[in-house]
Structure 1
Amino acid sequence: MPLATPSNTEGTFVPSTGAGAATPAFSPLYQQIKGLILHSLQHGEWKPGEAIPSETDLAARFRVSQGTVRKAIDELAAENLVTRRQGKGTFVATHAEHQVQYRFLKLLPDTGDARVEGPAQRTILECRRTRASAEIARILALRAGDPVIQTKRILSFAGVPTILEDIWLPGHAFKGLTADQMAQYQGPTYAMFELDFGVRMVRAEEKIRAILPDETQAHWLNVPPGTPLLSVERLAYTYNDVPMELRRGLYRTDTHHYHNELS
């Protein structure tokens, strides 16, 4: 069933009365189609790694031109929400794909190839269900006291502890997450979130500063007290800018560096 009905021109759009389908009439038509596709992604109509319908099928579904659908999908592809495969179609992007597995991990070795270094070894120090403090609730758009999963872990490269992380996740979306699950999954953590919990992180914001660790933090990272560390606070979002993870990490930078590409 079509989710919306177009007007006589493609510069405006008349939404249906279906739940979640209403969009402002002044939005460009392709942006409204993009929003409807995002709605389907958010509600799991197409899972990460699965093909979405063809442009022709989507055009018929939304009663718009194929060019309008193509423009909407072009934006979704540019935002790494879908991937085009020549001759095969368009697929929901997934962190299980090699080219995006570590898209949010920007720490690279000073010498050598990160692919040779391989994935980090994980040591889970803590994984527990607790109540969100006022600060954590505000950041994750929860209410104070709502359940959250709090995890502390060390990521090591070649046996050297390099990153100390504290992670907070909304309890309702990650019910049942355990320390063993966090430690034993061999692929990227975000791929595990997709596979086991149906939550895909699509973008993230980071705050970076230099700090000095306390004694406990220095102990876990096996560095002398007073060693400068890079503090990275990341807030990751799923579809439609819903915050789904707060991650605070301390990075050793004696053998690694933070790398980002700007365009």
Structure 2
Amino acid sequence: MNETKQNGRRTEPKTPPPAARAAHASLGYRPLYRQVKELLIKRLGDGSWAPGQLLPSEPEIAAGLGVSPGTVRKALDEMSSESLLVRRQGRGTFVASHDEERILFQFFRMVSDNGERRFPESRIVSVSVAKADEHAAARLGIALKESVVTIERVRSLDGRPCIHEHIVLPRSLFPGIERIKQLPNNLYALYSTKYGVTIARGSESLKAVAADARQVELLRCEPGEPILLIDRVALGVDGTRAEWRRSLCRTDRSHYLTDLK
């Protein structure tokens, strides 16, 4: 057993409580703050910490894990930089919630040509249940013919349709979502509060395509008009593929904007 010297005498180090020892043992041998971060992310994923919830203090978290407050602080700082947590001066650290402001700056990239960022209004066109085809199965990482829910909607700014969306969800993650009579504009908040699926990040690809008959009907554009296709797979905090979204966007009065850091 390791010993330390204190005032010229040899003393045994204090032994952390059993719960802290068990948590510390599970950390393994990777950089410590990264391991702490992974454990804390699991608490977000399993619902132990809900969106909007105030986290325990850094010393409390540190004592529970058997690590230093500085290690916890470094893990929380990284989670804050990834928009998983929100630090509020004088109030503490909170689990991030999918309010419109957060979505507007983290997930919604279409901006009016005058530079104004606004959250668009939405109109549900259809909601259906089907079996995943090869493309949906590959994008969502699920089995072929697994049950999926498809939401089709149109999003508008100032009453002008500008985005036609197809959203495909694994039905196992969102049971009964197809029966909700009025799906909210802010779907990510619904995923989090009702189903415990918090969208943390995603991957997108962009491509210019020509408007087909469906976009002509729903977006009131011209046949063959160039529009922007944004193909996104959104991931939960635990890395689960939670949503596949295809957004077909008019760009005659708006553009795609991202900040490079």
Alignment partner for residue 208 of structure 1, among 206, 209, 225?
206
Deviation at 1:113, TM superposition (A): 2.7
Seq. identity, %? 36
Alignment of 1:44-83 (within 5 A): 44-83=47-86
Question: For the residues of structure 2 that align with 1:123 and 1:232, how far apart are their CA atoms?
Answer: 19
Count of residue correspondences: 241
Alignment partner for residue 4 of structure 1, among 19, 22, 32?
22
TM-score by length of 1: 0.86
Partner of 1:247: 245
Deviation at 1:217, TM superposition (A): 2.3
Alignment partner for residue 221 of structure 2, among 209, 220, 223?
223
Alignment partner for residue 38 of structure 1, among 6, 25, 41?
41
SS of equivalent to 2:162: strand
Alignment of 1:17-166 (within 5 A): 23=27, 25-96=28-99, 99-102=101-104, 103-111=106-114, 113-115=116-118, 119-166=119-166
| Structure 1: gaps of 5 or more residues | 7-13, 16-22
Question: For the residues of structure 1 that align with 2:23 and 2:259, how far apart are their CA atoms?
Answer: 41
Deviation at 1:256, TM superposition (A): 0.8
Question: For the residues of structure 2 that align with 1:254 and 1:5, how far apart are their CA atoms?
Answer: 54
Question: For the residues of structure 2 that align with 1:138 and 1:195, how far apart are their CA atoms?
Answer: 27
Structure whose alpha-carbon radius of gyration is higher: 2
Question: For the residues of structure 2 that align with 1:4 and 1:229, how far apart are their CA atoms?
Answer: 54
Question: For the residues of structure 1 that align with 2:182 and 2:79, how far apart are their CA atoms?
Answer: 31
**1:180 and 2:198 correspond:** no
After TM superposition, where is structure 1 displaced by more than 3 Å over at least 4 residues in a row? Answer: 1-6
Partner of 1:257: 255
Deviates more, 1:249-258 or 1:106-115: 106-115
SS of equivalent to 2:108: coil
Question: For the residues of structure 2 that align with 1:59 and 1:204, how far apart are their CA atoms?
Answer: 30
Note closer, same or farther for the CA distance 1:155–1:204 as it changes in structure 2 (3 Å cut).
same
Partner of 1:234: 232
